[in-house]
Structure 1
């Protein structure tokens, strides 16, 4: 994978000790050590990878990368090649970039947005799979560690890579995008996610726009025409960058029409370059049609035909807990518990209301990181539940109380506040009838899927 000279060239590392000069892989977890690997000792608030550097070498690693501040006694314990750098995380990222740069002919698609990143990533990878093997971000490993981890998996047999880039503040995308060197950038939408950190939708849009600004001349930016904040990013594209839009309501280069649901599938027409083609995706909900349109736009940007795009969509493998339909005993369960924001909560409630033919029960937890808009946003979610005729609402969490209040303000009476997963499960066991449809959703920290397990 890397020679010692390549590692030093990429990271400007100081060679403390040399034993082996070739490295078969780059890892940050001693549980994933393979023979000949290079172990990069990352540091966090609650751990220091340098504590495990010597063990990594004993397990078969050929070398380790540690910081310049690594304790002398730790260095002496290391039996193998030892490299020292100013910052091990930066070194890890530089190694990932160096590896990505070894495959300049493999196009990288980068995706950001307040909602739908992971689903759009899955859909885009599926579309592009019509041409061959595609590397994609696993789960939602989209941060300063997850993005390098993904890119270090790039192989010559890949025909494309699709990566998520997360955003928790200004300049994070600025820092991460160059590691991936994407030729295509997709912005799904701008919503209230991370409001606590950035304070306004305008600031969130500005931070997301960093992806648009990172795409070089000759590349393509794909924007949501129906989201005014995203549509406004067109002017941020560099000269020589192609801008494509997708949408349903506004004029767009890739426009969805005649949307309808058949069972667990969505069918719709797409107009592109004055031609109309029908597509089917094994997902439901208008929000997922938007995600699919973004993926179709990426396919067209890379020269795929409508037939190839349809073929690719048939290969779709969706990340778990993203509006995942499950059968639990006699109940229909929608497990959308991976994460939540005001935009995705509303979409999930609307979609379930359209699909469910019998009683509907919402089991909702807190939406985190909303800052000053949190109470209002949770009240609105409760109002949406009541407006869509749900039979019952179960909430969990401090902000869940405001979801309950919102529903009650619109006349809903079957509202239950629960202090734990077990209490929520117990309440459901008392309420549920055969054929009921349940929606589970909340921010990742709420782990609402645990209630499903208790059922």
Structure 2
């Protein structure tokens, strides 16, 4: 019954969204890929809002419900409330007729959970620009597709739907995108570390506070058309954010924003919660909060950053299950254990699949004293609260359903700030 109700609501919202698009004719930037969609969406919005009226997807609204809600200007879904959904649908009808100040541009995040998701979306949505972030070797939602190739082909339908005269912004370092043939009549810009990228990334590194040698952020250089600028992002270890910001600068350049102006706008880029955020932990420790979600490629990026990080104390990884990996689930969790064993001093795990991570790390000769498994994120957090010492760094990561942010809340130096620092602190997540 719930599934039927959801389909009905999605259908009604889509009709309203299509009518709103027809009525107000906004330009659209749509973003897809396996990782980095939300950060890229936020970065594109940050650049474009300097010169035009623009709206972005709220949170990670990227589904058959989320995209129409963004077009209708709704920032909170109805969740399980029939009255709330009724109110949203009535509001949508009003906006078809009257929506003063409707934005010139929409920045939409487009995800794929199951086959035909993107096919259905592109029947009615034709973006003016599509940004492709990256395709993972083991992407999430793979369990619903016959192969990785099928999932990539589904996502690339968005790139094929760009309006004639529009443009694509593609990751030059992605080998799958190197094989992609763009539609005719569409301009292409690229970004990445590849020397031939339209917008080139270089010198990405962790920056430390000189007085106490603790990490304070990351910096990197963006270069295009003989011009280069250094960008500093405070409060994160996310070296991969360089890709999101480079993509945003490329979009801006196509729309008349100079690289210098784009970089200036991104100086105040709001870091997404739960994505490689540096937070103060108990006992003078450092918490690397990467709890928004988890996939093998995102974990790999996080571990690369942890490897590069210099700390006075121990390096610790708290890892929850990575879900929706299909047939790759067992191997992905075992690989995670092997990778963590090469980077961290301690590995703590939560969940069922991560038992494989635990055992793989043991096989890589990580001693039992450095391994521990928990059946909930809260129990892991309580253990860490007593375990952490001054100078330690702990990376916390796991799929959304593992609720690893609950562990982070326990080990924060200032737990009273959890609502402003952590993901999923809204009422609907209280359980």
Q: TM-score range by the shorter chain?
A: 0.7 to 0.9
Aligned to 2:147: 200
Q: Is the 8 A contact 1:103 1:156 kept in 2?
A: no
Residue in structure 1 matching 2:362, options 378, 403, 408: 408
Q: Is the 8 A contact 2:316 2:347 kept in 1?
A: yes
Change (3 A) 1:97 1:157: closer
- Where 2:131 maps in the other structure, the secondary structure is strand
Corresponding position: 1:187 with 2:141:
no
Aligned to 1:279: 231
Q: Report runs of 4+ in structure 1 exceeding 6 Å deviation.
A: none
CA distance in 1, matches of 2:271, 2:103: 20
Please list, as runs of the form range in 1=range in 2, the aligned pairs for 1:12-411 lying within 5 A after superposition: 44-45=2-3, 48=5, 87-104=8-25, 106-153=26-73, 156=101, 158-177=103-122, 179-191=124-136, 192=138, 193-233=140-180, 235=181, 237-249=182-194, 251-263=196-208, 264-282=216-234, 283-330=236-283, 331-357=285-311, 358-388=313-343, 390-411=344-365
CA distance in 2, matches of 1:118, 1:146: 13
Q: Is the 8 A contact 1:223 1:231 kept in 2?
A: no
Per-residue deviation, 1:87: 4.4
Q: Is the 8 A contact 1:265 1:281 kept in 2?
A: yes
What is the TM-score with the length of structure 2 in the denominator?
Answer: 0.81
Q: Is the 8 A contact 1:361 1:438 kept in 2?
A: yes
Aligned to 2:82: none
User: What do the CA deviations read for 1:115-168 (whole angstroms, capped 9, x no partner)?
Assistant: 111111111111212214431111111101111111111863634321100101
Q: Is the 8 A contact 1:226 1:250 kept in 2?
A: no
CA distance in 1, matches of 2:265, 2:102: 17
**Unaligned 5+ runs, structure 2:** 74-98, 209-215, 412-431
Per-residue deviation, 1:244: 1.3
What is the TM-score with the length of structure 1 in the denominator?
Answer: 0.77
User: What do the CA deviations read for 1:376-414 (whole angstroms, capped 9, x no partner)?
Assistant: 1111111111111x1211101111111112222222120
Change (3 A) 1:428 1:125: same
Greater Rg over alpha carbons, structure:
1
Q: Is the 8 A contact 2:382 2:407 kept in 1?
A: no
Q: Is the 8 A contact 2:229 2:263 kept in 1?
A: no
Q: Is the 8 A contact 2:27 2:106 kept in 1?
A: yes
CA distance in 2, matches of 1:155, 1:169: 36
Per-residue deviation, 1:436: 1.5
CA distance in 1, matches of 2:310, 2:347: 15
Q: Is the 8 A contact 2:295 2:322 kept in 1?
A: yes
Change (3 A) 1:275 1:426: closer
With 347-356 and 434-443 compared, the bigger mean Cα shift is at: 347-356
With 243-252 and 291-300 compared, the bigger mean Cα shift is at: 243-252
Q: Is the 8 A contact 2:348 2:374 kept in 1?
A: yes
Q: Is the 8 A contact 2:314 2:392 kept in 1?
A: yes
- More relative contact order, 1 or 2 (CA 8 Å, 6+ apart): 2
- Where 2:50 maps in the other structure, the secondary structure is helix
